[in-house]
Amino acid sequence: MTIGSVYFFLCAIACIAGALVTVVARNPIRGALGLLLTIVGIAGMYLKLHAQFLAAVQVIVYAGAVVILFVFVLMLLGADAMERPTGNRSPVARIAGGIGIAAIVLFTAYRAIQVYSRATNGHFPSLSEDFGSVKSVGKQLYSEALAPFELSTALLIVSVIGAIAVARTGHKRTALSPNNLTSAHRFFGGPVEPRDAAQPITKDSTL
Amino acid sequence: MNQAWISTLVFLVVSAVLAASVMIAARILGVASKRRTKLTLTTYECGEEPEGPAWLKFHPRYYVVALVFVLFDVEAVFLFTWALILPDLGMLAIVDMFLFIGILLLGWVFALSKGALRWQ
Amino acid sequence: MTPLSYHVQEYVLLAALLFSIGGLGFLIRRNVLIQLMCVEIMLNATNLLLVAFNRLYPSSMTGQVFAFFVIAVAAAEAAVGLAIILGFYRLRNSVHSDDADILRH
């Protein structure tokens, strides 16, 4: 075991533990934090693979924007984001599902280990100094990948337009006056305006 | 040979040791009642009694703000790469980046015209 | 045994495990938010493979550039997916994917 192996092992544990937390979490906020652990573990892997720039992008875009967006939506939905318990599954279905899941995971691991034990190549070669640096990635990005770069703008713009259109449906149609019910009030089934600090929060007030 | 991961490993180890040592020191040095009664679990006398759930609903208008943040976050990553290699590239890269920003500004104009950024 | 993390196989094994965990989570969970998170885990697993194989064939940076685009696409996908979840919640007042059954009735 070298120190590099220890680092790899720590990152792998972080990735898999985070993914498992995401899958089993009842509370979706725990799920979002598990996803964060997975993402940070993969950023650590990128460092080990000499992809320093990608590690930074992973932390900036994934951990800094995507997970934040998830947490935002969880805060918008409030406690309604919890999954309601499903008590209507028969024990036979549960056992069959468990066996199926275990079979898939074990088969994946078995195949991967089988391929691993047979492989003779796959050893990483030595690298030049600037492999994975911002400059080397950027050079390729702005020379060979110019067309996808411009197309990614179109994708981003369409996604934002679509998201605004979906997230604000019916906003113009219902007048937003304090006397009226707001569209958010109507759709979200309760007052979601920022709470008046002077007004005490009681158990009777709907949230 | 670039060894960026070693500094990360050192950082992880130092932060884990610091956090663990503070917690262990608090456990050893701290004076705490051994008995766990209902009274030890209540808020200390200077605090207000918490009432209602802590998980409040936010207003949906914050979602659009987060969305615009994601858009410009991705744009910033592209811009950062572009700025570092600008000396090596010619006029084409400059034109391309202005095209990129121009298309993104279209989305911003759309958000403005829909009133998505208006704070009411 | 050779030390870990100097072969592409370790990364393939890890990516396979992550991908299957994410796929299983997508299948067994009924909370659409958790399902979207599982999709993100699967995207991350494929990204890891791209970067690992670029480390194996380091003559060009294609794998890393591709992974970079995948990250940008994932950000767009999360934005639209979460907006759809918000719309679904407004419509049915639920985040349970079994409730998305208007077309069935």
CA atoms of C100 and C35, how far apart (whole Å): 14
- Chain A residues close to C16, C-beta within 8 Å: 108-109, 111-112
- Average pLDDT value over all residues in chain B: 81
Beta-carbon count within 10 A of C4 CB: 17
* Parts of chain C with a pLDDT under 70: 1-5
With an 8 Å Cβ cutoff, are B74 and A61 in contact? yes
With an 8 Å Cβ cutoff, are A160 and C79 in contact? yes
**What ipTM was assigned to the predicted interfaces of this complex?**
0.92
Mean pLDDT along residues B85-89: 82
Contact C71, A62 (CB under 8 A): yes
Residues 17-46 of chain B with CB under 8 A from chain A are none
Closest chain A residue by Cα to residue B8: A44
Render A48-72 in DSSP notation, one character per residue: HTT-HHHHHHIIIIIIIIIHHHHHH
The yes-or-no verdict on residue A86 having pLDDT over 70 is: no
CA atoms of A151 and C68, how far apart (whole Å): 14
Q: Where are the domains of chain C?
A: 8-104
Question: A99-103, B89-93, B113-117: which has the minimum mean pLDDT?
Answer: B113-117
DSSP annotation of A178 reads S
Q: Highest mean pLDDT range out of A37-41, A73-77, C23-27?
A: A37-41
pLDDT of res. A138: 86
- Chain C residues close to A31, C-beta within 8 Å: 33-34, 37
Mean pLDDT along residues A47-56: 90
CA atoms of B110 and C77, how far apart (whole Å): 19
Residue A26 pLDDT level (bands cut at 50, 70, 90): confident
DSSP annotation of C6 reads S
For tokens 């533990």, the residue is: A17
Render B16-28 in DSSP notation, one character per residue: HHHHHHHHHHHHH
For tokens 């685009």, the residue is: C69
pLDDT of res. A194: 46
Task: Tell which of C7, C20, C56 to mutate to test the A interface (max A CBs under 10 Å).
Answer: C20
CA atoms of A76 and A59, how far apart (whole Å): 24
- Chain A residues close to B80, C-beta within 8 Å: 134
With an 8 Å Cβ cutoff, are B70 and C79 in contact? yes
Is residue C59 less than 8 Å (CB to CB) from chain A?
no
pLDDT of res. A169: 53
* pLDDT tens digits, A151-196: 888 888 888 888 887 776 544 444 444 444 444 444 444 444 444 4
With an 8 Å Cβ cutoff, are B77 and A61 in contact? yes
pLDDT of res. A121: 67
Contact B59, A193 (CB under 8 A): yes
Residue A1 pLDDT level (bands cut at 50, 70, 90): low
The yes-or-no verdict on residue A40 having pLDDT over 80 is: yes
- Chain A residues close to C9, C-beta within 8 Å: 112, 115-116, 119, 122
Mean pLDDT along residues A9-36: 92
pLDDT of res. B69: 87
Query: What residues are paired with C96 via a beta bridge?
Result: C31
- Chain C residues close to B73, C-beta within 8 Å: 75
Shortest Cα distance, chain B CAs vs residue C79, angstroms? 6
Domains and CATH numbers, chain A: 1-79 (1.20.120.1200)
Is residue C31 less than 8 Å (CB to CB) from chain A?
yes
With an 8 Å Cβ cutoff, are A35 and C37 in contact? yes
CATH of domain C8-104: 1.10.287.3510
- Structure-model confidence comparison of residues B72 and A196, the more confident one: B72
* pLDDT tens digits, B2-40: 577 888 889 889 999 999 999 999 888 887 767 777 777
Is residue C40 less than 8 Å (CB to CB) from chain A?
yes
With an 8 Å Cβ cutoff, are B70 and C82 in contact? no
Mean pLDDT along residues A2-8: 86
The yes-or-no verdict on residue B53 having pLDDT over 80 is: no
pLDDT of res. A17: 94
Domains and CATH numbers, chain B: 59-120 (1.20.58.1610)
Closest chain C residue by Cα to residue B70: C75
- Structure-model confidence comparison of residues C22 and A118, the more confident one: C22
With an 8 Å Cβ cutoff, are C7 and A127 in contact? no
Query: Of C12, C103, B103, C32, nearest to A70 (Cα)?
Result: C32
Chains that touch C (3 or more CB pairs under 8 A): A, B
pLDDT > 70 in chain A, percent: 73
Residue A16 pLDDT level (bands cut at 50, 70, 90): very high
From residue A130, give the alpha-carbon distance in Å to each of A127, C48, C85. Answer: 8, 20, 42
